[in-house]
Amino acid sequence: MVLDDLGKSLRGALDDLRGKSRIDEEDVDAVVKEIQRSLLQADVDVDLVMSLSDSIKSRALDEEPPQGTSARDWVLRIVYEELVELVGESTDLPLENQTIMLAGLYGSGKTTTAAKMAWWFSTKGLRPAIIQTDTDRPGAYDQSKEMADRAEVDFYGDPDEDDPVKIAREGLEATESADVRIVDTAGRDGLNEELIAQIERIEQEVNPDRNLLVLDAAMGQSAKSQARDFQEAIGIEGVVITKLDGTAKGGGALAAVDETDSTIAFLGTGETVQDIERFEPDGFISRLLGMGDLKQLTERVERAMEATQDEDEDWDPEDMMEGEFTLYDMQKQMEAMNNMGPLSQVMDMIPGMGGGIMDQLPDNAMDVTEERMRDFQVIMDSMTEGEMENPRVVGKSRIERIARGSGKPEERIRELLEQHKMMERTLKQFQGMGDADMERMMKQMQQ
Ligand code: GDP
């Protein structure tokens, strides 16, 4: 299994943190070094490893662990979250009518995967069919038909036809009554122009809802360039990693996922049609780390975080005028606005704050519609304490993670950060005024 010994070595490094409440750079370096070693051994791309290490390091050192959380739990949570982010979500595969095309090199496990996936869909109550278009490999037809029989699913192929596009066309017609059509394609020893041209023609004929790239887990760094070529030819929506039962590697497949900006759909773990697993990032990482209690642990940390937020009675708007304007401040403002009505009206109700002062604010500073406010609340609930306190640490990868966690589009998260910046700037103007200026302004307004 990928990163097989990561759990063991990481546990050793994490155990050194036991009993500590503060983490220093040396501790974090030790943990990060173990992770790097395991990932590189599993063939994970060096750039990926580096960016993962950076995220873990900066989060472990910059973010404040919630009260009552040990250093060990905190670092483990960060490692877990960042690894989940590295492998990404599972490829979206709605249980509905669809056509899926499989691509990949010869021997990667396409034909086997087609049957496995068909079996998997059949266990979900759908009626799948396999369309076998591999006219190059002698025996592909027989192998595929036999596996389809074993999986007890519909099958279409034509051993006497040598035009794969024609087989694809006729196969689609013949399997019209199926819910899910899985189109298997030919592979070659290496990617060449002929294969690319052929798969492009099949793709045009079939017009699949999804293209999945099938990769042997043992394939090393070359998975990356292969994925790029398939991506350019037909576009790849997801990756199936096969033969995970026989290797401790698999990192090459992660590079392929990264390269195609796609996700992992399935894992192949054996030669029979039932040896397939839907990819689940949480379970996958928990298993990699060899920590069954990980979910419990993350829940414990989460509860501590919530408690910290509930204890927020000491939140004082005065602080906001004095120091940093955090996302907590913005959240509190928004909550207050929710309770009181639109901010402009609220400001109107406060003596001395009506009229004039609103004109001094940028037009869109208060332009937070109710729908956006609701989204912002959900997004902020998905952010860590460190991010709330210091939204500047939120970069591209965190935006992606928060989007996944909150179920809101990345665009919304950027809007939230923009809104925060704008409010912060506005406040800074007031802060910069000094008491005398403020008094003068108040007097003017009261006249
Ligand atoms: P294709 O050329 O891409 O269609 O590859 P095949 O489906 O014919 O698979 C090539 C070989 O790998 C066959 O011997 C399969 O039994 C084997 N294979 C495929 N998937 C797995 C897997 O998940 N685990 C193991 N152990 N063998 C697999």
Q: Would the CB of 108 count as within 6 Å of ligand 1?
A: yes
The better pLDDT of the pair 155, 381 is held by: 155
CATH superfamily of 313-446: Signal recognition particle, SRP54 subunit, M-domain (1.10.260.30)
> CB of 382 within 8 A of CB of 402?
yes
343, two tokens = 């901010």
pTM: 0.63
Residue 420 CB–ligand 1 contact under 6 Å: no
CATH number of the domain at 98-279, out of 3.40.630.30, 3.40.50.300, 1.10.150.120, 3.40.50.150? 3.40.50.300
What is the C-alpha separation between 423 and 151, in angstroms, rounded?
A: 60
**pLDDT confidence of residue 432:** 55
Is pLDDT of 437 > 60?
Answer: no
Reference 195, options 103, 330, 270; nearest CA is 103
Task: Give the start-to-end residue ranges of the domains of the chain.
Answer: 6-88+289-306, 98-279, 313-446
pLDDT bracket for residue 314 (50, 70, 90): low
Q: How many CA atoms lie within 13 A of 130 on its CB side?
A: 35
**Mean pLDDT for the chain overall:** 79
- The band of 59, judged by pLDDT with boundaries at 50, 70 and 90, is very high
355: left (phi over 0), alpha (psi -120 to 50) or beta: left
CATH 3.40.50.720 fits 6-88+289-306, yes or no: no
For 55, 238, 385, the CA distances from 31, given in Å and listed in that order, are 13, 31, 22
Q: Report the pLDDT value the prediction gives residue 100, as an integer from 0 to 100.
A: 97
8 touches 290 (CB < 8 A): yes
Distance 243 CA to ligand 1 centre (A): 7
Name which residue leads in pLDDT, 412 or 40: 412
From ligand 1's centre to the CA of 49, what distance in Å? 29
Helices 25-41 and 6-15 cross at an angle (nearest 10°) of 170
Please check whether residue 304 is in contact with residue 67, taking contact to mean a CB–CB distance below 8 angstroms. Answer: yes
Give CA torsion, residues 14, 17, 21, 27, to 10 deg.
-90
Tell me: pLDDT of 445 over 60.
no
CA separation for the pair 82, 76 (Å, rounded): 10
**Cα separation, 167 vs 238, whole angstroms:** 24
Two structure tokens written together for 291: 């920590």
Query: How much distance in Å is there from the Cα of 204 to the middle of ligand 1?
Result: 27
pLDDT at 170: 96
Taken in order 403, 409, 412, 418, the sign of the CA dihedral is positive
Ligand 1 contact via 246 beta carbon (within 6 Å): yes
- Across the range 166-191, mean pLDDT stands at 90
* Region 378-386 average pLDDT: 89
